[in-house]
Structure 1
Amino acid sequence: MGLFRRTPEQRAAKEERRRQKEEAAADKQRRWEADQAARRLHQERLVKAAGVSSANLVCHRDTWAFLESECHFVGQFQLPPPGEGSLIKVPLSGPNLVRALTNMKALRDTPGRYVGDRAVATRVYNAVAEIVDGVDPSAKSGTPVPDVVLDDKIGTVEAVREDDARD
């Protein structure tokens, strides 16, 4: 009978292993629930985006070239000729927005891809998602959708102190 008795240390170690196992299972459940919530949100965005008749994307030509390539938009859009500024405005339909969201999410979530491409994809996805999240499907027809603008600024020249500008 004495062979199966555990010391207090053994009981404490067993209890600690049980507790760690429960914590690991709870963490796994939380990750699964967060993943499911993210999937639902992405699907809701796609449905909203599909209903948009047109939204303008304002971005640098290089950003557009990246999107053209990654979303297979090549040759579908008439762009202003080079030399008319670095920013361009491209009208995207709902299906184009869906394709942009889908492809940018897939690219940003692919670990083997070049980290720079993943960064651009993340930035584009977030900018498009922000506008799509603000779309109200029940809004009156003809209500304009705000432009998706990819043109972050550091600040104005006036915002730089004279002391900083000399350094």
Structure 2
Amino acid sequence: MEKAAGVSSITFTCHFDTWGFIYKHAHEAGNFNGPKVVDEQPDGFVAVPVSGPTLVAVLETLWREQRNKYRSAGNRAIAKRIYDVTSTTVEAIDLEAAERGTPIPPVVIDAKHGTADPQP
């Protein structure tokens, strides 16, 4: 979470419905500040820039959601997939390099766009 908190901005690239899931579950978190811009991409995808505090809110919410036994198996699976991809992307960020101007890679939630499942 400390690394996520140190990010000034990161972009989620995913299907509109996937962003809707993230928004629906994280928008009530204290640090969540809804994005001002949602850039529509081809094939129903969106690119959504979020701040570090919003990233922390998303991670915390998804972590809880994937473990909530009162949610459906489908909701838990979606939350787990998004959490796994997001946390793996965040862990790979080199904050010192980012401070020197190296771009922070986006969180890409779609297997066909190069995101491999981080869990076997």
Q: TM-score range by the shorter chain?
A: 0.7 to 0.9
Paired residue for 2:19, among 64, 73, 82? 64
Q: Distance in 2 between matches of 1:152 and 1:75?
A: 25
Percent of aligned pairs with the same residue? Answer: 39
Shift of 1:76: 3.7
- Extract unaligned runs of 5+ from structure 1: 1-45, 154-167
- Extract unaligned runs of 5+ from structure 2: 113-120
Counterpart secondary structure, 1:139: helix
Give TM-score scaled by structure 2 length. 0.79
Q: Distance in 2 between matches of 1:66 and 1:140?
A: 28
**Cα distance change, pair 80–148 in 1 and its aligned pair in 2 (3 A):** closer
Structure having the larger proportion of residues in helix: 1
Shift of 1:137: 2.9
String of CA shifts for 1:93-118, please: whole Å, max 9, x gaps: 11111011100000001111111111
| Structure with more contact order per residue of length (Cα contacts < 8 Å, sep ≥ 6) | 2
Counterpart secondary structure, 1:111: coil
Paired residue for 1:118, among 60, 68, 76? 76
Larger Rg: 1
Q: Distance in 1 between matches of 2:42 and 2:92?
A: 31
Q: Distance in 1 between matches of 2:2 and 2:102?
A: 18
Contact 2:62 2:79 in 1 (8 A): yes
Give runs of aligned pairs for residues 1-167 of structure 1, distance below 5 A: 46-72=1-27, 76-80=35-39, 85-139=43-97, 141=99, 142-153=101-112
